[in-house]
């Protein structure tokens, strides 16, 4: 690995916003004979995280069943200036050449330490568009690929149907548009629907 490394994961701490109703992050540490041992309690959808198809589709693949190759490899970062509550459609990418199978989209519409439901998200047609381009991983700098009010998760479901994995709540403020190597491996949590990740980019 060569080139600068960009950490695109917000720090997991008590000030990190979670989706309303999800279990917020908490931790407990104890020291005995100079040895520190800690535990944490939190939703799996904390900070930068990956959703498996099981998140929105019964009997679909759990996070331990998703191939690691999804999360390691070349990617394309696209930076857009979007209005609050904007829904991305194929027309937003008509002048952008989609050349990679992993796409990360910076919308600039969400602050990880302050919950707000006016972040940008995807229209399901946009998921279909990326599928036609051969994309199999879509990342975004918001807590969900769906709008906060879309409780039936249409974009999540379309991604599961199309075999596309979602990588949510990235921190892309310090990354320029362009091409990078992505490493964002989830924990191998058997039978569960999501996992936090430590996502990084490196220049290629």
Identify whether 25 is part of a domain.
no
- In tens digits, the chain (204 residues) has pLDDT values of 568 999 999 999 999 999 999 999 999 999 999 999 999 999 999 999 999 999 999 999 999 999 999 999 999 999 999 999 999 999 999 999 999 999 999 999 999 999 999 999 999 999 999 999 999 999 999 999 999 999 999 999 999 999 999 999 999 999 999 999 999 999 999 999 999 999 999 998
Catalytic residues: 55
At residue 5's C-alpha, the angle toward residues 193 and 126, to 5°, is: 45
Identify whether 80 is part of a domain.
yes
Identify whether 37 is part of a domain.
no
Report the CATH number that the domain containing residue 176 is assigned in CATH.
3.50.30.50
Identify whether 135 is part of a domain.
yes
Identify whether 24 is part of a domain.
no
Residue 156: give the domain boundaries.
5-11+44-203
Identify whether 166 is part of a domain.
yes
- Bridge partner residues of 182 (DSSP): 73, 201
Identify whether 112 is part of a domain.
yes
At residue 188's C-alpha, the angle toward residues 183 and 190, to 5°, is: 150
Distance CA 51, CA 67 (A): 13
Number of domains in the chain: 1
Identify whether 94 is part of a domain.
yes
């Amino acid at each position: 690995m060569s080139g600068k490394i960009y950490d695109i994961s917000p720090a997991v701490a008590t000030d990190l916003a979670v989706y309303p109703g999800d279990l917020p992050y908490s931790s407990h540490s104890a020291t005995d004979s100079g040895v520190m041992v800690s535990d944490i309690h939190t939703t799996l959808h904390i900070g930068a995280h990956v959703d498996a198809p099981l998140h929105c589709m019964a009997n679909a693949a759990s996070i331990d069943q998703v191939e690691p190759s999804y999360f390691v490899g070349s990617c394309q970062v696209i930076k857009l200036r979007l209005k609050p509550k904007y829904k991305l459609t194929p027309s937003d990418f008509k002048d952008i050449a989609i050349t990679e199978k992993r796409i990360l989209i910076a919308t600039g519409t969400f602050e990880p330490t302050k919950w707000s439901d006016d972040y940008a998200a995807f229209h399901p047609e946009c998921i279909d568009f990326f599928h036609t381009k051969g994309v199999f991983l879509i990342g975004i700098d918001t807590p969900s690929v769906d709008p906060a009010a879309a409780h039936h998760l249409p974009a999540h479901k379309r991604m599961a149907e199309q075999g596309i994995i979602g990588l949510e709540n990235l921190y892309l403020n310090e990354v320029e548009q362009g091409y990078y190597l992505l490493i964002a491996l989830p924990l191998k949590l058997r039978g569960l629907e999501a996992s936090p990740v430590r996502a990084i980019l490196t220049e290629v």
